[in-house]
Structure 1
Amino acid sequence: MNEPGRFEVYDEHEGQGGHGGEEPYEKGETESGSADASPGADGMSSGNGDDRHPTPEPGPDLPPRIPLPRASVEDTGQPLPDLQVRDLADPAPRRPPLVLEHRVLKALLGAWALAACSTEETAAVEEHLGDCGACADEARRLREAVGLLHPAESLDLDPSLRTRVLAGCLERRPPRIPVPEWATPYDAQTARLDALLQDFGDAEWHAPVRLRWFEKDEPTSRRTTVAGVIAHLLTVDGLVAVALGLQDPMGDVAADHPTPSARTEAYWRASHYPPTRAVRAPWREQSHDLVRTVSFTGGGTGKLSVPYGDFELPLRDAMLDRAFECWVHAEDIAEAVDYPYEPPSGRDLHSMVDLAARMLPTVLSARRRAGLAAPSPGPHRHLVPAGEPGRSLRLEIEGSGGGEWLIPLDSPAAVGSAEHEVAHIALDGGEFCRLAAGHVSPTEAAAGQVGDREAIRDVLFAAASLSRM
């Protein structure tokens, strides 16, 4: 008999137990025939809470509980495997470079310019371009052609996105102090320009910019820098600030320089050095003050008069005029640093076109008195009474911000009338605004024109004369 609690080892090769040929117990059974529990985590038996019967140590006929270390391939005397040498910076195995004929490499130039070659082909082509001047010239021309197929795209968001997001927010929670609708274009355009300026370094702030406008029907320009343009916006926006009772950035010299161009030239002359990036902070603070002030004073201030020296504008139109100039000069800055800049949203662009269309009759009348426009023909030679219809030109603006306006030709007080329409002009919205900014020649602006050629010319040149520095 076995001692109580002892396990008998069954040798399958001998087919019998270790004592007198008796049949062995089944694995895991004791002499009483009950199954013993599996060992616990510490190698001791945990069945029925009895820890008196530990698991026996492995004998010479049993495998070790912990396997011995495996033999190294270096100890076997056999040859080691041939491993590929890899660069730590580039874990991928290196492949031998392609060796291609000249005619094959030349045929790959088009695919290389389009970035359609494989890694090996690209390396082979670029190595060949360093040795072959003819292929290098051809590759440069192809790469330039590809650049024309894929014009540069702005990294900025869609200009209308800001308007849509704000509109959605205001629908959910109306503001306690809303910004007047006629001030939102200025708010949007100054925010867009400020976003363009925020990443500029010193080199961009001193990049040359050429301001363009029309004066006496001749194109005129003035050279400055990006910082000089922001200084120009700062001084002219100061006219609106003064009308609202805010501080004038020109200080005491403002009274002697009432017009926008005179204020700008005086500010530039007063600077001991060319304007630097430091001008951004006062311009930005002033634009915020303008929006905040018109919001707190309510929409009633829209009728407040803002003097421009030679003429005056209601505050609501002056804010729209400043939004228009901010966009135009933002395009000047973007062009100077070779960065794409999108036009305003359709709603803001429509408001800008509407302001220019409303100003055209007054400008046309002033040009006629100065002898720059043809006098009214026949019975329309005398001024049309206020509120009466007269000869009209239909201004059709296409695209974003488009619409139609009937421009009275004989008197600012007259009313445009479709029955008295003598001419029709069609332009793109952005093109018309660039015409009003003096960036497009009046003789090249109209996409389509029908009717009285003299009236069309007068209106186009009147639109260009709206521009100023």
Structure 2
Amino acid sequence: MGSDHEGVRDLLGAWALGAVPPADEPRLLGHLAECEWCADEAERLRDTVRLLDGGDAALAYERIDRAATGETAVHEDGGQEVRGRLLASVLARRPAAPSVAGHAAPYAAAVAGLQALLRELGDRGPWSTPVVHDWDVHATVAHLLAADESLALRLGHRARTPLGEQPQDVSWRTIWANRTDEVIAYERAHSPAQTVASWREQSAALLADPHATDTELAAQATTLLGVRLPIADHYVVRGFETWIHTDDIGRALGRPVPVPPDPLLWRMVRLGVRILDLALAEDSVPVLLTVAGHGSEGEWVLGGEHDPVAAELVLDPVGFCLLLAGRYDPAEVPRGLAGDGRAARSVLERAARIAWL
């Protein structure tokens, strides 16, 4: 065991949060390489923080309670008193979750989940691992920086990267593609840590904005990324995209990413149904869509209002969201189907074409 054992223990809480002072990091890492007990506790603390930030908070607090009451094994070199002190250190250092209204809760949860995942990578982590499209982990975070920017600018916040001139008389999709490429190229000249810091600062500004807490203020409608919605719904869109790309990164790295809590997942489902209904032509054949699972169920008639329903389509909420995100082929998404197969496939294909992620 390293001679610096007692001095290093107090740094474990900071390490679990990704906040070790640079001057102390070599000392800490050197000790963890030698001390099996501290290395185990460091991993345990980081896992607890991840559960608190984006996963199962109840399980995290259960672990804390078990440690505090002595229900876990007592280590000869530390015991429950030391473990309780380390857990208290984590909770004391951990920033308070932002207090937001319900419409911003999916975004707050998704931001916390991605932060927890990125903290595990470290400065020398697998940032060049391919993730989605032609992006690696670093570029995916840069993409989210660009994606959140549209809402940030609308709310009066500054751009985190220089804004280039946008071509005139082109579609919003072209403008969006140009801007995300521009931001990714700019961030390539910076370290992943700097890109993460910029994304984190921008997301914190969005969550601290009055529109994240005031439902009346957030009821104002605005057009972003080609769709006119209340600002409240644009916050839900931001939560949806952040979760999807966190899942992309998790899949690429072989690290499980939890599904959003049921109430937040269903807020995304309901908004997704509304956007899909807007995207379907008024003269399209009506289809009854049922989304069921994860603690709730909803039914909607999509398409034209004057003709009888031609087909019934049943989807799981996670599958529905992944379809809207372009992560499922419409022919392969798990579903139940009855009636006119062509009408149902038309809805599935239109849902998949909505994706801009």
TM-score greater than 0.5 by the shorter chain = yes
Higher share in helix: 2
* 1:204/1:226 contact within 8 Å kept: no
Structure 2: how far apart are the matches of 1:286 and 1:409? 38
Structure 1: how far apart are the matches of 2:238 and 2:117? 18
Partner of 1:199: 120
Partner of 2:42: none
Map residues 16-415 of structure 1 onto 2, 5 A cutoff.
156-157=50-51, 161-162=56-57, 178-211=99-132, 222-253=133-164, 255-256=166-167, 259-271=175-187, 273=189, 276-294=192-210, 298-365=214-281, 376=284, 392-400=286-294, 402-410=296-304, 414=305
Amino acid at match of 2:303: L
Cα displacement (A) at 1:449: 0.3
Cα displacement (A) at 1:398: 2.5
Q: Deviations over 1:381-405 (max 9, x none)?
A: xxxxxxxxxx642222232154222
Following TM superposition, the consecutive aligned residue runs of length 4 or more in structure 1 with deviations greater than 6 angstroms are none
> How high is the TM-score relative to the length of structure 2?
0.67
Q: Tell me: higher relative CO, structure 1 or 2? Use CA pairs within 8 A at least 6 residues apart.
A: 2
* 2:323/2:351 contact within 8 Å kept: yes
Structure 1 segments unaligned to the other structure (5+ residues): 1-153, 166-176, 212-221, 369-374, 377-390
Within the alignment, does 1:441 sit opposite 2:357 as a pair? no
Q: Deviations over 1:301-325 (max 9, x none)?
A: 2233343353333211111111011
- Root-mean-square deviation (CA, aligned residues, Å) is 3.1
Partner of 1:432: 320
* 1:239/1:306 contact within 8 Å kept: no
Amino acid at match of 2:343: A
Compared CA separation, residues 190 and 308, structure 1 to 2 (3 A): same
Compared CA separation, residues 444 and 314, structure 1 to 2 (3 A): same
* 2:292/2:316 contact within 8 Å kept: yes
* 2:99/2:213 contact within 8 Å kept: no
Q: Deviations over 1:62-111 (max 9, x none)?
A: xxxxxxxxxxxxxxxxxxxxxxxxxxxxxxxxxxxxxxxxxxxxxxxxxx
Structure 2 segments unaligned to the other structure (5+ residues): 1-46, 61-97
Partner of 2:79: none
Helix, strand or coil for the counterpart of 2:328? coil
Amino acid at match of 2:208: R
* 1:207/1:225 contact within 8 Å kept: yes
Structure 2: how far apart are the matches of 1:226 and 1:457? 33
Amino acid at match of 1:226: V
Structure 2: how far apart are the matches of 1:225 and 1:347? 31
Structure 2: how far apart are the matches of 1:206 and 1:451? 47
Structure 2: how far apart are the matches of 1:233 and 1:254? 20
Compared CA separation, residues 254 and 232, structure 1 to 2 (3 A): farther
* 1:268/1:274 contact within 8 Å kept: no
Counting matched residue pairs gives 269
Compared CA separation, residues 272 and 192, structure 1 to 2 (3 A): closer
Q: Deviations over 1:312-368 (max 9, x none)?
A: 332111111110111110011111221111111111110111111111122122xx8
Structure 2: how far apart are the matches of 1:338 and 1:205? 11
Within the alignment, does 1:466 sit opposite 2:354 as a pair? yes
Deviates more, 1:436-445 or 1:272-281: 272-281
Amino acid at match of 2:260: P
Cα displacement (A) at 1:276: 2.1
Partner of 1:31: none
Structure 2: how far apart are the matches of 1:275 and 1:350? 36
* 1:349/1:401 contact within 8 Å kept: no
Helix, strand or coil for the counterpart of 2:332? helix
Helix, strand or coil for the counterpart of 1:442? coil
Compared CA separation, residues 290 and 164, structure 1 to 2 (3 A): farther
Amino acid at match of 2:118: L
Compared CA separation, residues 341 and 160, structure 1 to 2 (3 A): closer
Amino acid at match of 1:465: R
Structure 1: how far apart are the matches of 2:289 and 2:191? 40
Compared CA separation, residues 437 and 245, structure 1 to 2 (3 A): same
* 1:205/1:277 contact within 8 Å kept: no
Structure 2: how far apart are the matches of 1:431 and 1:195? 24
Cα displacement (A) at 1:202: 3.7
> How high is the TM-score relative to the length of structure 1?
0.52
Partner of 1:451: 339
* 1:209/1:332 contact within 8 Å kept: no
